[in-house]
Amino acid sequence: MRNFEKSSKLDHVCYDIRGPVMDEANRMISQGMDILKLNIGNPAPFGFQAPQELLDRMNENLSSTEGYSDSKGLLSARQAIVKYSRKKGIEGVTEDDVYTGNGVSELITLSMQGLLNPGDEILVPSPDYPLWTASVTLAGGAAVHYMCDENAEWYPDVQDIKKKISDRTKGIVIINPNNPTGSLYPREILEEIVELARQNGLIIFADEIYDRLVLDGQEHVSIASLAPDLLTVTFNGLSKSHLIAGYRCGWMSLCGDKSFAKGYVEGINLLSSMRLCSNVPAQSVIGPALDMEEETKKLLVPGGRVYEQREYIHRALNDIPGITCVRPKAAFYVFPKINIKKFGIYDDEKFVLDFLKEKQILLTHGGGFHWERPDHFRIVYLPELKQLKTACDKLGDFLSGYRQA
């Protein structure tokens, strides 16, 4: 009998969407239980609605977007992305350097598949957005995790990055604004990282999907704008800023010196053609969406949902004895610390599972983001204030009687 096991490469893939906690949540849901899902950054189920104008435009375009597009995407979409790149201070991006994708997710995988050979290393943050580690691993490479420092607003620890560069390192992933920490990196840190990439000939992979979800009137700096001489692949999309995660709409653009990476660009072109193209109706609204900033901004100012929910969750979590958290500056995630001594916690996945079983609330344990110590978890603060309050009350109540060992 042949044995059809899943690929052993998948053993190393650790998502926030699989494992014993998700299995238990699915079991509870199948038994009719109502679970509050604070584990996935999907705005639609929490009453966020995409701008009506965008939906109207997509509807209007349906009949003209029935066929495949160019494998890189509609020219009009790529022109809009070029314009947006310029606006962000990124020089030299042409329509030919832009690839649209079925979400940023598809392009993360594609960008790693096209680059890595066995033994190649990519520097990935810890904590990370786990798709990055998964994609590096699936492409046959090794993800080497560099630390982000909670005591310094969760900024990347540049000294740690330096220590982890080897002669096998091909690139560095920067997720800014960050999932899961909600951190927004200052220009100075980005400049230091650029300098390291320059000295060591690294490609920069800049995941900037949350760049339009920045709070407190702060400015997002695209790392590619600081590195005009370095090959940088910048990722962005409409899932979060325009609340259309289900339409699967993302892109990546290459800029900087490509002269030493002709083979890599060929590989990307090949992989892009192999999937024919990305969702064409969704591509058709990239231009209008990028001209439509106000709708998103409304969510981010006092009185706006993301702002008010951020204010609440930060305060409420810090009020729970044994929990502390850094104030998130962007996106809609918070990555609190739990006092593991106080609660005897040795296994963060068990903590999240115990909480789920007792309170029907789904969190993600820090280990799901390649965070080594069992002392963190992530909350997606998309639900409305009332639900967030219930969640925080239940967490406080649960912890008041919790001891793992």
Find the helix packing angle between 20-30 and 348-359, rounded to 10°: 10
Binding span for ligand PLP by CB under 6 A among 62-70, 113-121, 237-245, 272-280: 237-245
50 binds ligand PLP (CB under 6 A): no
Instruction: Dig out the tokens for 128 from the structure.
Output: 């990370």
Q: Which of 209, 207, 208, 253 is nearest to 231 (CA)?
A: 253
179 binds ligand PLP (CB under 6 A): yes
330 binds ligand PLP (CB under 6 A): no
- Which positions from 110 through 129 interact with ligand PLP, judged by CB under 6 A? 129
H or E stretch including 400? helix 385-400
Kind of pairing between the strands at 203-207 and 232-237: parallel
296 binds ligand PLP (CB under 6 A): no
Q: Of the candidates 69, 105, 181, 225, which one interacts with ligand PLP according to CB under 6 A?
A: 105
CB of 259 to ligand PLP, least distance (A): 28
16 binds ligand PLP (CB under 6 A): no
Instruction: Dig out the tokens for 147 from the structure.
Output: 């630390």
CA dist 348 and 368 (Å) reads 9
48 binds ligand PLP (CB under 6 A): no
51 binds ligand PLP (CB under 6 A): no
CB of 44 to ligand PLP, least distance (A): 12
Q: Are 131 and 15 in contact (CB under 8 A)?
A: yes
Binding span for ligand PLP by CB under 6 A among 11-19, 103-111, 212-220, 378-386: 103-111
Q: Which of 10, 11, 18, 13 is nearest to 40 (CA)?
A: 18
283 binds ligand PLP (CB under 6 A): no
Q: Which is nearer to ligand PLP, 153 or 207 (CB)?
A: 207
CB of 141 to ligand PLP, least distance (A): 18
- The terminus-to-terminus CA distance of the chain in angstroms comes to 44
CB of 148 to ligand PLP, least distance (A): 13
Please work out, in degrees rounded to the nearest 5, the angle formed at the alpha carbon of residue 181 by the alpha carbons of 23 and 102: 65
Q: Other CB atoms closer than 10 Å to residue 176's CB: what's the count?
A: 26
How many residues at the interface with ligand PLP, by CB under 6 A? Answer: 13
CA dist 365 and 123 (Å) reads 22
Binding span for ligand PLP by CB under 6 A among 100-108, 162-170, 274-282, 305-313: 100-108
CB of 321 to ligand PLP, least distance (A): 30
Find the residue with minimal CB distance to ligand PLP: 103
Q: Of the candidates 245, 280, 286, 388, which one interacts with ligand PLP according to CB under 6 A?
A: 245
CB of 83 to ligand PLP, least distance (A): 20
CA dist 70 and 269 (Å) reads 11
104 binds ligand PLP (CB under 6 A): yes
CB of 163 to ligand PLP, least distance (A): 24
332 binds ligand PLP (CB under 6 A): no
Q: Which is nearer to ligand PLP, 130 or 359 (CB)?
A: 130
Q: What would the x/- binding string for ligand PLP be over residues 133 to 172, using CB under 6 A?
A: ----------------------------------------
Question: Residue 25, CB half-sphere, CA atoms under 13 Å: how many?
Answer: 21
The H-assigned helical ranges of 122-186 are 131-138, 158-164
Q: Of the candidates 73, 125, 250, 367, which one interacts with ligand PLP according to CB under 6 A?
A: 250
Binding span for ligand PLP by CB under 6 A among 98-106, 225-233, 287-295, 318-326: 98-106
Please work out, in degrees rounded to the nearest 5, the angle formed at the alpha carbon of residue 113 by the alpha carbons of 107 and 118: 150
Phi-psi domain of 146 (left: phi exceeds 0; alpha: psi -120 through 50; beta: other): beta
Q: Which of 155, 213, 221, 208 is nearest to 331 (CA)?
A: 213
The type of residue at 390 is T
CA dist 300 and 293 (Å) reads 11
Q: Is 18 helix (H, G, I), strand (E, B) or coil?
A: coil
- Which positions from 18 through 47 interact with ligand PLP, judged by CB under 6 A? 41
Residues making contact with ligand PLP (CB under 6 A): 41, 103-105, 129, 175, 179, 207, 209, 237, 239, 245, 250
